[in-house]
Structure 1
Amino acid sequence: MNENPREDLAINRALWDARARVHGTTPQDTFYDVDTFLAGRQTLFGLEREVAGDVAGLDLLHLHCHFGMDTLSWARLGAKATGVDFSGTAIARARELAARAGLDTAFVEADSQDLPSALAGRFDLVVGTYGVLCWVADLDAWMRGAARALRPGGSLVLVDLHPAYQTVAGLDPFVADWPYGGGDPQRETVTGTYAGPGVPIATYEAFNYPHSLGEIVTAAAGSGLVLERLGEHTAVEFDGRGLLPRDADGLYRLPVSGTHLPVLYSLRARVPMGRTDDGG
């Protein structure tokens, strides 16, 4: 772990504040379309909906919510949703979007590695999806916070980029240039944004953190969560990195030497029913 994680956090927050200011605000944005969302477009993919199951009537905490589209999509499925993000700019936009969508959804500005005690023991589901743990320096703290937010019997649902895919820099030729796990901070210069090549945004520094699948599962177990499901997915609806070819069936795959490596993983883990404290 970085010796000064607060410096890392401030650098990453500056990047995400900038992204929150521009995402969904320009015609060049091919990822976020606020108008079609307000018209009813569902932003969730089939994988996270399948792993989460029926969320109607459940208290759901969405970590790393950005400016709220997925949180509000969970609310449209009947969840009593709360979104958390460390970017104050993102949270302000999420609250505005919720008001425009007519959805009674709460948003909290907080670091997911240090969730407010007021969230403890309040939720049936904690959800994190797509590009989550690569921004987390302290994986154990993240898992402890997620577990603490859950009621006894509640579950964590995590769908994220597979660590094997995160090592890949290019396909033709095949190049892997990122560590598989270990958690050591990787400092990089970020130019542009995944929301579209023409979206206007300055160049920023950022820190990412590689966590192996074993480290992720071990951190979940160490927080007291009981693993219910671990999936590794080679054919997926969404390529969060924009590197993969889209096949004729509309799915993305990572081809290597005549086979396919996993692009995403999914995890579901629950808090034991016997827990009587707040998860601390």
Structure 2
Amino acid sequence: MGARVTGVDFAPAAAERARLLAGRTGLDATFVEADTRRLSETLAAGSDLVVATYGVPCWIADPDAWMRGAAMALRPGGSLVLVDLHPAFRTVAAIDPLVVDWPYGGGEPHRETVTRTCAEPGQSLPAQDTVQYPYSLGEIVTSAASAGLTVKHLGEHVAAEFDPRAILPGGRDGRYRFPFGDSHPPVLYSLRAVSPDPHPS
């Protein structure tokens, strides 16, 4: 749609896979192998929009540094948009019966063996040992504010267009919700935070 896109990932395999997919689809995009907590100065103040979705914060040992990297990459007035599994929903391993096996926040390393990813939740993969970091919604928002960003929107969403953990029942509308008594706790959250503009129009 006319955007000039730069993708960043610390894993060489992920960056190369993205290049291959972009080539197959004819997408004009650049992919950079880099640690988003320590971005190159060549990316400073170069983006109107920084986007991260589904399964980013849980792999970041230092969310404050990650947010500073996102803020550094934004032009004045630019926006960070983050969409991810809600931290409360991430604690849930099963819903019938209800099993909670993941900490809510704190950021301490949490080791587990996984056979699925959020990219392909329905597909079983060879077991892999992982280290992830649980953050509460408050910790994520505070990291954005500490990086100098102004939070403009924080949404908590009770329905998703896919089942991020392969445990939710699908509704008649094709969306997935977490049934909890007569209610539906949030499954996803969305955050939009803006870089300060010293010369607002």
TM-score by length of 2: 0.93
1:270 and 2:184 are equivalent in the alignment:
no
Identity of aligned residues (%): 61
Counterpart CA distance in 1 for 2:138 and 2:117 is: 29
Give 1:92 deviation, angstroms.
1.3
1:117 and 2:41 are equivalent in the alignment:
yes
Q: Which residue of 1 aligns with 2:106?
A: 182
Q: Which residue of 2 aligns with 1:78?
A: 2
Specify the SS of the correspondent of 1:244. coil
Partner amino acid, structure 1, of 2:152: E
1:217 and 2:177 are equivalent in the alignment:
no
- Say whether the 8 Å CA contact 1:233–1:262 is kept in structure 2: yes
Aligned pairs (5 A) from 1:84-233: 84-193=8-117, 195=120, 201-233=125-157
Shift of the 248–79 alpha-carbon distance from structure 1 to 2, 3 Å rule, reads same
Specify the SS of the correspondent of 1:100. helix
Counterpart CA distance in 2 for 1:198 and 1:133 is: 22
Counterpart CA distance in 2 for 1:198 and 1:165 is: 20
- Which of 157, 178, 184 in structure 2 is aligned with 1:260? 184
- Say whether the 8 Å CA contact 1:225–1:270 is kept in structure 2: yes
Counterpart CA distance in 1 for 2:85 and 2:121 is: 19
Specify the SS of the correspondent of 1:134. helix
Aligned length: 198
Partner amino acid, structure 2, of 1:160: D
Give 1:98 deviation, angstroms.
1.6
- Say whether the 8 Å CA contact 1:120–1:149 is kept in structure 2: yes
Counterpart CA distance in 2 for 1:243 and 1:196 is: 9
1:238 and 2:162 are equivalent in the alignment:
yes
What are the superposed Cα offsets for residues 71-93 of structure 1, whole Å, 9 maximum, x if unpaired?
A: xxxxxx33211111111012112
Aligned pairs (5 A) from 1:9-48: none
Give 1:103 deviation, angstroms.
2.1
Counterpart CA distance in 1 for 2:146 and 2:21 is: 36
Of residues 116-125 and 93-102 in structure 1, the stretch that sits farther from structure 2 once superposed is 93-102
Give 1:192 deviation, angstroms.
4.8
Specify the SS of the correspondent of 1:256. coil
Specify the SS of the correspondent of 2:159. coil
Shift of the 271–258 alpha-carbon distance from structure 1 to 2, 3 Å rule, reads same
Shift of the 123–245 alpha-carbon distance from structure 1 to 2, 3 Å rule, reads same
Counterpart CA distance in 1 for 2:192 and 2:86 is: 15
- Say whether the 8 Å CA contact 2:71–2:149 is kept in structure 1: yes
Runs of 4+ residues over 4 Å off in structure 1: 196-199
Shift of the 227–244 alpha-carbon distance from structure 1 to 2, 3 Å rule, reads same
Shift of the 198–141 alpha-carbon distance from structure 1 to 2, 3 Å rule, reads closer
Partner amino acid, structure 2, of 1:228: K
Partner amino acid, structure 1, of 2:150: V
Partner amino acid, structure 1, of 2:36: S
Q: Which runs of 5+ in 1 are unaligned?
A: 1-76, 276-280
- Say whether the 8 Å CA contact 2:121–2:163 is kept in structure 1: no
